[in-house]
Every structure is written in C-alpha cells, then in structure tokens.
C-alpha cells in the first residue's frame, strides 16, 4: 500500500469530491455567463486554488508524485489560468466600450 493511499479515508475522499463538484459547477456557470466579472474572477480563483493544491502536495507535503495523474490537473489549471488571464483583457475592453456607448 502506498503512503498516499493508506492515509486517505472516506471523509477526505468525499470532501475532495465535493470540492471538485463545486469547482465544476462554478466553471460551468462562468461558461454560461462569461461576461459576469465576479463569476469570472471566482472561476479564475478555482484554477489558482487547484494549481496551488496540487503543487503543494507534490513539492511541500510530498504526498503525490509527478505522475500523469498529477500532471494532468496541473496542466489543465495552468493552461486555464493563462487562457482566463488573456480573456480577462477582452472582458475589460468590452466593459470599457460599453461604458463609452452609455455616455
């Protein structure tokens, strides 16, 4: 039994599952209403949180190894953060152009 699998109990697995479900609901809501700046920032934060979580498990706590099972969420979080930061610029430009139309 690997140290990681022996230390995870049912409660921890369910909490991680609920956290993953909550993150996916937030991300889907952002995809539906991508112009909602508050929701956009919350979604961006979920990707930062996932990135920090997996990096800390690998490099600080040493409870996970850099296998494909850990690399996949690291890559998804990294690329999603990059894409959302690029998209944020367009969201800001759109907000400015709408303000000019109102005035």
Q: Which of 64, 63, 65, 19 is nearest to 45 (CA)?
A: 19
Which pLDDT belongs to residue 13? Answer: 86
- Residue 86: give the domain boundaries: 4-102
Which pLDDT belongs to residue 5? Answer: 52
Which positions of the chain have pLDDT values less than 70?
1-7, 103
| DSSP state letters, 14-72 | HHHHHHHHHHHHHHHHHHHSTT-HHHHHHHHHHHHHHHHHHHHHHHTS--S-SSHHHHH
Number of domains the chain is built from:
1
Could you tell me the maximum CA-CA distance found in the chain, to the nearest angstrom?
Answer: 66
Query: What percentage of the chain exceeds 90 in pLDDT?
Result: 70
């Amino acid at each position: 039994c690997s140290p990681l699998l022996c230390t995870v109990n049912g409660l921890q697995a369910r909490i991680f599952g609920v956290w993953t479900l909550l993150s996916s609901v937030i991300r889907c809501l952002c995809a539906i209403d991508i112009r909602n700046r508050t929701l956009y920032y919350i979604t961006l934060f979920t990707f930062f949180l996932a990135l920090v979580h997996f990096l800390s498990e690998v490099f600080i706590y040493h409870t996970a190894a850099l296998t494909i099972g850990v690399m996949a969420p690291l890559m998804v979080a990294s690329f999603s953060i990059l894409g959302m930061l690029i998209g944020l610029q367009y969201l800001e430009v759109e907000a400015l152009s709408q303000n000019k139309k109102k005035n």
